[in-house]
Amino acid sequence: MLAPDTLSILDAGYAQYKLLSEIIDNGSSVVIRLRDNAVWHSVEQRALTPADIQAGVLQDTVVYVGDKHTRADCPHLLRIIQVLHTGEPTPHRTSRVSSKKTFRTTQATYTLLLATNRMDLSAETIATRYRYRCLNTLHPHGSAMR
């Protein structure tokens, strides 16, 4: 179980909105990569700052996630931050999991969909925290988040 007042950064190609809602209901914060085919309803488009753009942020939108069948699984307002990832192409790797359930790409450039319940942090901060996600859990009131 996650402790309250933590920020968990998960790289899962996530689609289980009930668990996402439980994390938020527990008083925790989350940044998680959504699947490329995620469905959401836009509520508000947030303006990007020069720092957001410099960090590769393409869009910052306040949303409800899910379609008509799954929207009740996570009734919380979230932000979806679309981030351009650029790098070197990677060789194709075979997967042990069905190709419909993997989210690997060999492309050098692609868009990440990051969902978070943190409305107070800049899109640039969210994108940067995700890039450095090897620091899995950060305390939002600690010096690392200032």
Domain annotation covers residue 43: yes
Domain annotation covers residue 33: yes
pTM attached to this predicted model: 0.78
Domain annotation covers residue 2: no
Number of domains in the chain: 1
- Hey, which bits of the chain come out as E strands? 7-14, 29-34, 40-46, 57-65, 78-86, 109-116, 137-138
Domain annotation covers residue 1: no
Q: What is the pLDDT of residues 32-71, one digit of tens each?
A: 999 888 899 999 999 999 999 999 999 999 999 988 888 8
Domain annotation covers residue 92: yes
Show the domain range for 90.
Answer: 7-145
Q: Distance between CA atoms of 21 and 27, rounded to whole angstroms?
A: 10
The average pLDDT across 2-18 equals 77
Q: Which helix (H) or strand (E) holds 20?
A: helix 17-25
Least confident piece of the model among 5-9, 123-127, 128-132: 5-9
